[in-house]
A = this chain, B = another copy of it.
Amino acid sequence: MLTGGYNEQRVIIHMRYKEPGKETAILHAAIKVFAEQGYHKAQISRIAEHAGVATGTVYLYFGNKRDILLKIFGEMWAVVAKQWAAIANDTGLTAEGRLDALIDVVFDVCAPQPELAILLANEHSLLLHNHREIFPKEYDQALEIAQKIIIDGVTKGVFDKDADLTFLRHFIIGGMREALHQWSINPKEIQLGDIRRHAKRTLKHGILSH
């Protein structure tokens, strides 16, 4: 998602022209520093240092500190929303398969950068709470797609008809956020595959044995 891809080559050709690679570098550095220190204690100068640019350069690419965080979440939810949309439109999937796929997407987005999961756990709620009006619309789009998938499952009788949509989507987001957070703190000791499996199981069948 946040990688520069083919643009890296352009850098070699035009070193003095605004490089897309630099915006990416700053975003990656910001994810790391925000995750380590928390958004408020994180200093722009440290982000710049990690990105290998000067402090002022950050302001060539982002209006202010908050915009960096908004951009991070914006890009993340854009990826999620896009993939969730593909799942919703995939007629080859059962309702249950769609639910599994939904969960996989979230895990896949965080897998390459555990720090993103920390941000999700630590800063997402607060930013949403304080700046709902400017929060990336991609987040709402993602929630809507998820809701559609659940409704479809209920209609088809696969999901329990008593399931409350508003509750569920927040419960799922919250539960997975916390689980991912635990993993991100020590990604090597906890197997992401295990969490993934547990998440699906618990969401689908609950904790009671049957």
Contacts and interface: CB of A to CB of B under 8 A. Distances in A.
A121 B125 CA distance: 7
Contacts of A208: 96, 158-160, 204-205
A150 to B, nearest CB: 8
A126 B171 CA distance: 19
> What range describes how many residues of A lie at the interface?
35 or more
A83 interface: no
A90 B123 CA distance: 38
A198 B122 contact: no
Number of copies: 4
A9 interface: no
Interface string A27-50: 000000000011011000000000
| Dominant secondary structure of chain A at its interface with chain B | helix
A87 B166 CA distance: 29
A206 B209 CA distance: 11
Contacts of A178: 125, 170-171, 173-175, 177
A142 interface: no
A101 interface: no
A94 to B, nearest CB: 11
Contact of A40 (B40, B168, B171, B181): B40
Contacts of A198: 162-164, 167-168, 171
Interface of A: 37-38, 40-41, 96, 99, 118, 121-123, 125-126, 129-130, 150, 153, 157-164, 166-168, 170-179, 181-182, 185, 190, 194-195, 198-199, 201-210
